[in-house]
A and B are shown apart, each in its own frame.
Chain A
Amino acid sequence: MGNPNVGKSAIFSRLTGVNVIVSNYPGTTVEFKKGTMKLGNKWTEVIDVPGTYTLEPFSKAEEVAVEMLKKGDLVVNVVDATNLERSLYLALQLLERKTPAIIALNMWDEAKHKGIIIDVEKLEELLGVPVVPTVAITGEGVKELVSKLSEAMLCTVARGKDASQR
């Protein structure tokens, strides 16, 4: 899950090896795509969904994403490191749900070019879920994301502090 045009499909094809259309405009993915990946020793199903800014969908494509969320055991929330503020709104909404989550802080390279520095540990601490910087296009950070996936599955809803104090 994540905002449009933040690299969800790119991360999806990195995780599953399934080729999906990746473009630089919001609304590329309009249909959910299924793929599989090996997690530990189990084959798990991965689903790529259209982008959405909130959990209240505006278009049909966004409805697909919200529907899929209900079926998910773990949500990989792809966040645009160059626009953290906008991505966090959806992240917080996702955290309000009970599904375990992990955050892929994507376009990490572009954020650096733009002079944006993000304290990953602090973010992890505040949100209470693993946060992994990634560059989906080149594949950087994806291995670490995979290793943290199994970890995220275990820590179910131990979110600690109530959100309003954050």
Chain B
Amino acid sequence: MPVNDERTDEQRWAAVGRIVSQVQTVTHRHHTFLERMGDASIKPMTGLPIAIVVLLLTFGFIRFVGEGLIGYVFEPIFDIYAPLVMKLSELLGPGFVHDVLIGTLIEGKVDYVQSMGLLTTGLYVPFAMVLPYVFAFYLVLGFLEDSGYLPRLAVLIDSVMHRIGLHGLAIIPFLLGLGCNVPGALSTRVMETKRQVFIAATLMAIAVPCMAQLAMIVGLVGVYGAKGLGIVFLTLFMVWIVLGLLLNKILKGESPEIFMEVPPYRIPYWGALLKKLWMRIRFFLGEAVPYVLLGVFVVNVLYILGIIEFIGKITAPIVVGLLGLPEEAVGALIVGFLRKDVAIGMLLPLGLTMSQTIVASVVLAMYFPCVATFVVLTKELGVVDMAKSAVIMITSALLVGGLLNLIL
């Protein structure tokens, strides 16, 4: 006879109660420091100031470690590497192989960002510009994840998330998306309804640039000082809110509320934290770098075959007319399908003004996700929803791009 037949809930809970009473004894429970801290960070009065401090510390840490790594580790390495590349360049002499490996020399010298050679830009962008920020971001994210702070943040911003049709836990896909849109897209699965998954995925793909892209934007727009960066981030943030409000109104169906355990604070276990960091760095090196090299290679081929000029002519009304960018900028849009960071790097040789760079960065961030994210999103959302999402992406990118072009 079946030993445990299907029982109703009450019987099951009754059985649970009986077992627990016979098995578990709880001695005194003194509130540990961690528990008090845990409650303090979730109560709005103390929680909101703590959240602001945490966010400031996070950005400060990422910039400090990112720039530190660039300045003291990677820049020197590439400085030592430069003469070697120059020797190779002389050895190869002009020709197709030179263009592919070294790329175009700027005033007779190798410019790591503009040359677009596999051994120059292909290595410099991922390692000297992007990796430092990816490393710093995942170190901080790992700490926030393992400590148990994220669920508290989720509770604090839950009502904001409600207005865009989601709930507090949606902070996870957005934060993971900030690192890389691929894990971000996967984690939308934690949302209960299809409607929420669609909103979270679309908003993430449009308004949450990945760290690689952010690193390049900081490199490119940062040159004009904090004002330029402020505009880019403010725009993306506004798009995130406005688009969220719109989607929440248009898409019918209500969104379930948050219902989740808030785990106790735990001191992150260093072994696990570093292991996770290494896994994510290895993912970046294994997945991203090949795409960057491919992107750089594609750029070379497109330029050499003159395809970019050809496409530039066709898309001129949009690229030049609406967005106020030079025709060649379309090259960046094309490569943006492959890798966002390489695409932004391609803007440098075009000698854009500050406002043009801002418009280009925002449009590149919004118009379409990179191919890796696109594949995951299609799997998560299904082809139909992905198409809908894509339409939203392109229209909002052109709209915002055009608007920015007018204002700036």
Contact = CB atoms under 8 A, between A and B. Distances in A.
A–B interface present (Cβ within 8 A)? yes
Interface of A: 4-5, 10, 19, 21-28, 30-31, 58-61, 82, 84-85, 88-89, 92-93, 95-96, 110, 113-119, 122-123, 126-127, 137-138, 157, 159-160, 162-164, 166
Interface in B1-21: 3-7, 11-13, 15-20
Given A30-B190, A88-B19, 15 more contacts: A24-B266, A25-B150, A59-B189, A59-B191, A84-B23, A89-B16, A92-B16, A95-B4, A96-B7, A115-B27, A115-B28, A115-B30, A116-B27, A123-B19, A166-B15
A137 B4 contact: no
Given A117-B24, A137-B272, A157-B3, A92 B15 contact: yes
Contacts of B261: 4-5, 26
B22 interface: yes
Contacts of A61: 189-190
Contacts, number: 130
Interface string B173-217: 000000000000011011110000100000000000000000000
Contacts of B26: 114-117
B172 interface: yes
B148 interface: yes
Contacts of A118: 23-24
B266 A27 contact: no
B29 interface: yes
Nearest to A20: B279
A85 B261 CA distance: 14
Interface of B: 3-7, 11-13, 15-20, 22-30, 32, 142, 145-148, 150-151, 169, 172, 186-187, 189-192, 197, 260-261, 263-264, 266, 268-269, 271-272, 275-276, 279
Contacts of B268: 24
A137 B266 CA distance: 12
Given A21-B279, A61-B189, A119-B23, A162 B4 contact: yes
A25 B148 contact: yes
Contact of A88 (B16, B32, B151): B16
A58 B264 CA distance: 23
30 contacts: A19-B276, A21-B276, A22-B146, A23-B142, A24-B145, A24-B147, A28-B145, A30-B187, A30-B190, A58-B192, A59-B189, A84-B20, A85-B17, A88-B20, A89-B16, A92-B4, A92-B12, A92-B15, A96-B4, A96-B6, A110-B266, A114-B26, A114-B29, A115-B26, A115-B29, A116-B26, A117-B24, A122-B23, A126-B23, A166-B18
A27 B3 contact: no
